[in-house]
Chain A
Amino acid sequence: NAGVMQNPRHLVRRRGQEARLRCSPMKGHSHVYWYRQLPEEGLKFMVYLQKENIIDESGMPKERFSAEFPKEGPSILRIQQVVRGDSAAYFCASSPRTGTTPYEQYFGPGTRLTVT
């Protein structure tokens, strides 16, 4: 029973390039969350998606960042024109569903983005 998969595990980009981070949720999970772990800021929520829908992107920077979870394929977090401050670990999590009972979220191993 595979867990949450993320790739690549490490990504190096030069300033101004684009970064694409992929996440495949656990089997049977239809809810995906992205979190960012910055060295001095800890883990912060970025965005919550269901298939073909962005439910909450309140934690996403207003510019350059976008996310999608298409009907087929993994969820993608896209960062355009990366800057050094984007260097961080990006974690994807998934859960079976949300509702009145809070479900734990299962995390992937993360993608460590380094911007040079």
Chain B
Amino acid sequence: AQSVAQPEDQVNVAEGNPLTVKCTYSVSGNPYLFWYVQYPNRGLQFLLKYITGDNLVKGSYGFEAEFNKSQTSFHLKKPSALVSDSALYFCAFMNDYKLSFGAGTTVTVRA
């Protein structure tokens, strides 16, 4: 079965340090991959997507993600984390029009 996996339930970093949120995929064909962020009691906000082309995708709020076909990964990165980046992050793939999400990774950025 096709899926995405987020191997870390939680990621803790200090403000100003690099932030990485991991995602691996098991998707046949060309994967359509997405990152969303969810703040407490809010809906999901779209960050970025990979469809085709450059392996490095730039998105909202200074985030970027690197598509790595050989490692079947699509890790989300931010060079310098902010306290306001503390949230729940979801990796997802799209099959036709359906988004299938990973379990989510809770990011805590400490001041």
Q: Give how many A-B residue pairs fall within 8 Å (CB-CB).
A: 56
Q: A33-B97, A35-B99, A102-B94 are in contact. Are A107 and B34 (CB under 8 A)?
A: no
The interface bits of chain A over 22-60 (1 if a CB of B lies within 8 angstroms of the residue's CB, else 0) are 000000000101010000001111001000000110010
Output the least CB separation between A24 and chain B (Å). Answer: 13
In the complex, the answer to whether B51 meets A105 with C-beta atoms within 8 Å is no
Q: A43-B90, A91-B44, A109-B43 are in contact. Are A48 and B98 (CB under 8 A)?
A: yes
Cβ of B45 under 8 Å from chain A: yes
Per the CB 8 Å criterion, the residue count for chain B at the interface is: 22
Q: A43-B101, A56-B98, A102-B94 are in contact. Are A4 and B43 (CB under 8 A)?
A: yes
In the complex, the answer to whether B46 meets A104 with C-beta atoms within 8 Å is yes
Output the least CB separation between B37 and chain A (Å). Answer: 11
Residues of B14-68 contacting chain A, CB below 8 A = 32, 34, 36, 41-46, 49, 51
Per the CB 8 Å criterion, the residue count for chain A at the interface is: 27
In the complex, the answer to whether B46 meets A106 with C-beta atoms within 8 Å is yes
User: What's the Cα separation between A104 and B96 when bound, in Å?
Assistant: 12
- Residues of B bordering A, CB below 8 Å: 32, 34, 36, 41-46, 49, 51, 90, 94, 96-104
- Residues of A bordering B, CB below 8 Å: 4, 6, 31, 33, 35, 42-45, 48, 55-56, 59, 91, 93, 95, 98, 101-102, 104-110, 112
